[in-house]
Structure 1
Amino acid sequence: MGAMDDLLGPNEVKVLSEALAAAAPGVVWDGVLAAGTQLEPLSLRGRTDVVAHALVRALGTYPAAATAFRAALEDPTFTGWALWPVTEAAVTLALDDGGTQAFDDALALLAELTPRLTSEFAIRRLLQADHERALAIMQTWTNHPNEHVRRLASEGTRPYLPWAVRVPLLLATSGATLPLLDAMHNDESEYVRRSVANHTNDLARHAPELVLEAAARWQQTGTPGSTWVVRRSLRTLVKKGNPRALELMGFTPAQVSATRLRAETSVLALPGELAFDFVLTNTGDAPARLSVDYAVHYVKANGSTAEKVFKLTAVSLDPGESRQLRGRHGFRQMTTRRHYAGTHALEVQVNGIRHGRLEFEVVL
C-alpha cells in the first residue's frame, strides 16, 4: 500500500459520514460509515469505489444525492479526498437517472464541489456519456469567477489525464477541446494556465499539427501568460526535435558540435546519480540559440532499450564560442519507472539533433 492510498482512510470516511448525517439527517448513513472499515489493502481508486458504492446505496436517487451534497457544502469539514467518492456517486446516480436534467445538474454539482477537491476524475464519465453536451456546458466555465472551476474545464477534458479513464471520443475529435483552451490560454491564474499547457501537451501526442497551429495563434498575443503556456505546451514536441516547435520557441537550425562527452563513472549502482559533462561549440558563422536536451536509453526487462528525452538547458552562443555544460541524472526505483541492470546510454540533443553517445553500466 502506498502513501497515496492513505489519503482516503477510515478517519476521512468517518468525517464524511458525520458531515453528511448533519446535512441530510433523514438518510441512513450507517453503510457509508461501515465502508471505512473495508478499505485495507485497497488502492486509492479502489477505496474510492467502495465508498462511492456505499453512498449510492444510501442515497438511491440523483435528486437525493444533489440535495445532500449541496447541503453538506455548508460544512467546512466536507472537503479533501473523501469528496472523490462523493463526485463519483453523484455521476453514477445522474447517469442511472438517464435524464438531461440530471446530467446537466450533475455537471453543475461537480463545478460546485471542485473547489473542495477536483472533480476531474468523475467528470470523465459524463464526457463519455455525452461529450458534446458536456463540452457545451463546460465552455461556459471558462469565464467562471472561481479558478478551480475554470481549471476543471481544462483538466477534466485532458486527453491523457493521469489516473483517469480515457474518453475515446475526445481522442477521436482532438479539436473538440480547443475552444476551451483558446478561452483560457492567457488566464490570470497560473493554476489554470498550467492545466491548459498540460492539456495542450497531451494533444501533441496524437495531434501535433493542431497544437502547433494553436501555439502560433497564442504566441501572437505576446502576453507573458501566453508565452509561458506556449513554452509548456510545446515541451514534448521540442524534445522530439519537431522543427516547427523549435522555430516557434526561437531555436533555429544551427551548426554546432558537442564534444568531450564524459561521465564521472562508467558503473552506476542504484540508487545513484550519473554526472556528465560535454563541450558545446557554435561552429557556424551566426549567433545561435540552442535548446539542449539529453536522451537516456534505459534497459527494459527483456534486455532491449527505450529512450526518454530530458531537458537540460537553453543557451545562446556566438560564432566560435564554446561552453562546457554539466548535468546530473538520478537513477532510483520508482512506481513510475522500474530500472534494470545492463548497458545504458546517454546522448546529447541540440535543437533536435543528436550529438555523441556514452555508455554506462547500471547495477542493482
Structure 2
Amino acid sequence: MSAAISPARKHQLNTGAAASTHLAECLAVDFAVLLQTVAVLPETAIQCMRDAASKGITQRMVLAATLLREARQGDPAQWQSHASDTVRGWACYLIGGDATASLPVKLEKMRPLADDPHFGVREWAWLALRTDIVAGPLLALECLQPWTQEPSAHLRRFACEALRPRGVWAAHIALFKQHPEHAHSLLEALADDPERYVQDSVGNWLNDAGKTQPQWLRDLCTRWQRERDSPANAYIRRRALRSL
C-alpha cells in the first residue's frame, strides 16, 4: 500500500514534518522512526515499537501511548498540536488510557482532538475512548447528548460515531445492538443534520442496529418518513436501510 509513496514523502511522514493526506499514508508511517524523532525514549522502547511493526495500527497506537507514558512524556498537551496526525493520535490514546480519569473527564480532554481538522485524528479520538464507552454506554450517551447541538459538525458526528453499536475497528456495544431505543434522543437530535459527514454516521449507526433489530429500524424509518420531509433525513433513511 505504501509503494506509491515517494521516499521523500515517507521521510516527511516518518519524521513528523507533515500530516498524512489519505489512509495509505496513515498506514505507511514507521512508528519506531517517528517515536525516535519526536520523543526522547530509551532504545529499549524504540526496539519494542520495531518489534511491533507487524501488528495492527490500533495496537501500535496503544503501544506508542504506553511507551510515552512510561518515559514520563504522557501529557497529551505535549502532543496534541503536533504537525503529525499520527502524533496527535498518540495524544488521543494518552487521554483514553489514563486509568485515573473518568469518562466525562476524558471526553472533555478529547474535545479538541474530536474537532481536529484531520480525518485520522478524529477517528483516533473516538477509538481511543471505545473501551470506556463499551463499559458505560449509558453514561457515554448522557455525556455526548449535548454534543449533538454543537456548531461543529465534527463534534456532532463524534457524538454519533463514538456510540455506534458495531463501530469500525472497535468492540461492539451490546446494549445498543439489542436495545437501540436507548439512543432515541441522540438519533432524533441528528435526524435532519445538514452535514453529509454527520448524515453518514447516523445512517451507519442505524444500519448497525438494523442487523440485530431490523423491525425497530423499519418502524423508525417509517415514522421518520411520515414526520420528516428533509432531504437530509431521506438520505439517512436510505443509508440506514441499505442492508435490509
Q: TM-score, normalised by structure 2?
A: 0.76
In structure 2, what is the Cα distance between the partners aligned to 1:173 and 1:16?
45
In structure 1, what is the Cα distance between the partners aligned to 2:217 and 2:71?
45
- Given the superposition, is the C-alpha separation of residues 111 and 222 from structure 1 closer, same or farther in structure 2, using an over 3 Å criterion? same
The aligned residue for residue 89 of structure 1 is 94
Q: How does 1:228-267 map to 2 (within 5 A)?
A: 228-237=235-244
The aligned residue for residue 206 of structure 2 is 200
> Which has the greater radius of gyration?
1
Letter of the 1:58 partner, please give it. Answer: A
Which of the pair has the greater relative contact order for Cα pairs under 8 Å at 6+ separation?
Answer: 2
- Given the superposition, is the C-alpha separation of residues 54 and 151 from structure 1 closer, same or farther in structure 2, using an over 3 Å criterion? same
In structure 2, what is the Cα distance between the partners aligned to 1:144 and 1:173?
26
SS at 1:236 equivalent: coil
Could you list the runs of 5+ residues in structure 2 that have no partner in the other structure?
3-23
- Deviation readout 1:27-46 (Å, 9 max, x if unpaired): xx425973654442222123
In structure 2, what is the Cα distance between the partners aligned to 1:69 and 1:170?
30
Task: Choose which of 93, 116, 127 in structure 2 pairs with 1:121.
Answer: 127
- Given the superposition, is the C-alpha separation of residues 59 and 115 from structure 1 closer, same or farther in structure 2, using an over 3 Å criterion? farther
Structure with the larger helix share = 2
Could you list the runs of 5+ residues in structure 1 that have no partner in the other structure?
18-28, 238-364
The aligned residue for residue 291 of structure 1 is none
- Please give the root-mean-square deviation of Cα atoms over the aligned residues, in Å: 2.7
SS at 1:157 equivalent: coil
Matched, 1:6 2:28: yes
Structure with the larger strand share = 1
The aligned residue for residue 218 of structure 2 is 212
Alpha-carbon distance, 1:6 to partner: 2.0
The aligned residue for residue 179 of structure 2 is 173
Matched, 1:147 2:153: yes
Alpha-carbon distance, 1:174 to partner: 2.0
Letter of the 1:132 partner, please give it. Answer: L
- Given the superposition, is the C-alpha separation of residues 173 and 16 from structure 1 closer, same or farther in structure 2, using an over 3 Å criterion? farther
In structure 2, what is the Cα distance between the partners aligned to 1:143 and 1:8?
38
The aligned residue for residue 104 of structure 1 is 104
For this pair of structures, how many residues does the alignment match? 213
- Deviation readout 1:271-318 (Å, 9 max, x if unpaired): xxxxxxxxxxxxxxxxxxxxxxxxxxxxxxxxxxxxxxxxxxxxxxxx
CA contact (8 A) 1:155 1:161 kept: yes
Alpha-carbon distance, 1:139 to partner: 0.4
CA contact (8 A) 1:10 1:39 kept: no
CA contact (8 A) 1:201 1:232 kept: yes
Letter of the 1:30 partner, please give it. Answer: L
Letter of the 1:45 partner, please give it. Answer: T
CA contact (8 A) 2:177 2:208 kept: no
SS at 2:127 equivalent: coil
Letter of the 1:88 partner, please give it. Answer: Y
The aligned residue for residue 12 of structure 2 is none
Q: TM-score, normalised by structure 1?
A: 0.52
In structure 2, what is the Cα distance between the partners aligned to 1:160 and 1:133?
18
CA contact (8 A) 2:66 2:94 kept: yes
The aligned residue for residue 80 of structure 1 is 85
Overall identity of the aligned pairs, in %: 23
SS at 1:161 equivalent: coil
- Given the superposition, is the C-alpha separation of residues 212 and 106 from structure 1 closer, same or farther in structure 2, using an over 3 Å criterion? same
- Deviation readout 1:107-151 (Å, 9 max, x if unpaired): 112222123312121221121232221110110100112111111
CA contact (8 A) 2:79 2:91 kept: no
Q: How does 1:303-322 map to 2 (within 5 A)?
A: none
SS at 2:243 equivalent: helix
CA contact (8 A) 1:185 1:196 kept: yes
Letter of the 1:158 partner, please give it. Answer: R
